[in-house]
Structure 1
Amino acid sequence: MRIEVYGCAYSAGLNDGQWHSVSLSAKWSHMNVVVDDDTAVQALVAVLIDSGDTYYFGGCLDNSSGSGCKSPLGGFQGCLRLITVGDKAVDPISVQQGALGSFRDLQIDSCGITDRCLPSYCEHGGECSQSWDTFSCDCLGTGYTGETCHSSLYEQSCEAHKHRGNPSGLYYIDADGSGPLGPFLVYCNMTDAAWTVVRHGGPDAVTVRGAPSGHPRSAASFAYAAGAGQLRAAVSLAERCEQRLALRCGTGRRPDSR
């Protein structure tokens, strides 16, 4: 006995809204279940398998029918197509017309699945997953929380850290709150005011050598821990902004000097 079904459903591991193939085959005391050409279960049972002549797809009838069918996980929610039993295709229209079996809570020749993750309502890179009637967002590792990963886990400024009684140190801040910009690392200097220090990844001192006249060259480039948009958001919250550049000049002998 061999049963093949192509199904589209929302369940653990198969919640992508795409079609998947499921095949169950039983012969003597061996049973195989294959999902998308990957063997999911290979079972050897102690008794011979008798498939009978009645098959249930998507769940069981109510208990009053006396069918003996049990479905502890509830009914299937999704769509089925290309059903075959043995080598014979099952015609759903014949089921609808009552010529083959019976059905309940079923739409024939129509798949009512709605993809609730396209477009995704999860913000800030949250991962969307869905069931038959709702969706949820996994916010792990995004720095945000809430039903749609909207609320930032970080304070908006060093001033907010100061109000919470935090000492000077390195902190992540999210300058635009729940906006599209992500958090970034700053040093909060808690003096009479809360100074936000954005550091760069370059060396503390750079040696600048001369260049031929009319041929200027770059001495060094600095990569800050925040992007341009994040810096603008942080500056917009500040009462005062400073950028410090210190130059130390020394004299040296020219090659042709004496």
Structure 2
Amino acid sequence: MTPAPVRPALIVFDLDGTLLDTHADLVESLNHTIAALSLEPVSYDDLTHLVGQGARVMIERACRLRGHPLEGDALPALVERFVAHYAGNMPGRTEPYPGLVAAMDRLKSAGYRLAVCTNKMESLALGLLDKLGLTHYFDAISGGDTFEYRKPDARHLTGTVERAGGDISRTVMIGDSINDIAVARNAAVPSIAVPFGYSDVPVSTLNPDHIIMHFDELTPELLERLLQEYAEKVVV
């Protein structure tokens, strides 16, 4: 009996701090937003404590950081101000991390599917990737408002896998923060961490299955080894 063919693996990327270096534009739009409250600007050093849960939480955290916790219905207008500024200035100074495009070309040529799972609003993620000419690489792009749940809830990742036509047993998650490593763990898939993103702690302390220092290291050989090792670990 001929064995069933192995389905191509699906590689799921986080967006901010993993695929794209977005820090300059996030800081600029966030400072534009909190300027409406006459708050002191935030800096890149603050960003690692602010990002990861989408614009709403980022704004709330920035206001709290500046001693102005939001009350009542103040947040929606601030989110609208942030989104208008951020979307209106895309792609700004945002650019892919070194080696990313070559890595995606390498994986696509080898038959891999690619997807994005981010807590950024779906419209902002789609708009940014489109402006950078990267949308065509991905079989699915899900944001923090695509489903009723978001990272680190496993259903954000499993829903993305389903949208991309992938197989959860043949999926690897790549990210830069606790939400990415946690969602991989919650969905029972191997994780790869990158250290050049916006984590507020060394990514090694998050216990990913592997760390790459540069996208040159992201090869089919590495991915297949991780999938095999993870499958064996689960069986044991």
Instruction: Name the TM-score, length of structure 1 as normaliser.
Output: 0.22
Larger Rg: 1 or 2? Answer: 1
Higher relative contact order (CA 8 A, sep 6+): 2
Structure with bigger strand share is 1
Instruction: Name the TM-score, length of structure 2 as normaliser.
Output: 0.23
